[in-house]
Amino acid sequence: MFGNVAEDLPIAQRRPLGADGHDPDVSRLCHRIHPRFRDIPCQCRWSHPKIAILSIPMADDPFDCLLCPARFDLDPDEVERNFLLQMARIHPDLGTNDPEAATRAARLTDARNRLLNPESRASALLGRLGGPSGEQLNDLPDGFLMDIMEARLELEQAVESKDAEALARSRQWAERQRETFIQRVGDLLASAERSSDDGVLREIRTQLNAWRYIERMIEQARPT
């Protein structure tokens, strides 16, 4: 998957990429766009004698996809700015004639949504640190399963009875739990970044597994 960038290149003639996948002028342009692109081989096609469309690999990692710093306390405004910038670069209205623009736009939108959500952002960070996925480790914190089962039962009863006050209480409880997980997982991620302790990575996944239950409950507790 690639992300395209249309730029006015100071190149007198069209030159093929070298054996290493690089063109000197293209490499300089990539580095000017973002330092991470300096050593990434890119494809180049021409829509005008001096206009090159660079095809730069679009990463699966949401941080790399939007060129955002890999940190848990990521500024939402930065996510939005980078998202809009990347979308503008691949928008069909730029005249890139790129048949994959819609697919890349969907990838960028998915990356944006993942980074704006603290739970999925934490999960992406855990993946970067080499931690287990939810499929690889499905443990839950001690005592959490009983607590969430009781809370979900109360929520289901509130929904069935259309009890607005009970529904609000369930939602408030879940939102408090979310804040607790944000603090707890944030602290664990900071610890994991300072060391390579596999036990910390596994604990983060365990907390994220529980946090996912809370996010589902918040979704179900939203008033209709």
- Of residues 7 and 122, which shows the higher confidence score? 122
Question: Residue 38's pLDDT is what?
Answer: 45
pLDDT above 90 coverage of the chain, percent? 61
The one-letter code for the residue type at 145 is: L
pTM for this entry: 0.72
Handedness of CA 60, 62, 66, 68 (dihedral sign): negative
Cβ-based burial of 163 (10 A; exposed 0-12, middle 13-18, buried ≥19): middle
149: left (phi over 0), alpha (psi -120 to 50) or beta: alpha
Question: In angstroms, rounded to a whole number, what is the distance separating the alpha carbons of residues 178 and 172?
Answer: 10
Band of residue 196 on the pLDDT scale cut at 50, 70, 90 = confident
pLDDT digits (tens, 9 = 90+) for 136-187: 999 999 999 999 999 999 999 999 999 999 999 999 999 999 999 999 999 9
pLDDT digits (tens, 9 = 90+) for 83-108: 999 998 887 554 556 667 888 888 99
User: Which fold, 2-116?
Assistant: Helix Hairpins (1.10.287)
Q: Which residues pair with 2 in a beta bridge?
A: 57
pLDDT digits (tens, 9 = 90+) for 30-85: 444 455 444 444 444 434 444 344 444 556 899 999 999 999 999 999 999 999 99
Domain ranges of the chain: 2-116, 144-220
Beta strands in the chain (DSSP E): 2-8, 43-48, 51-57
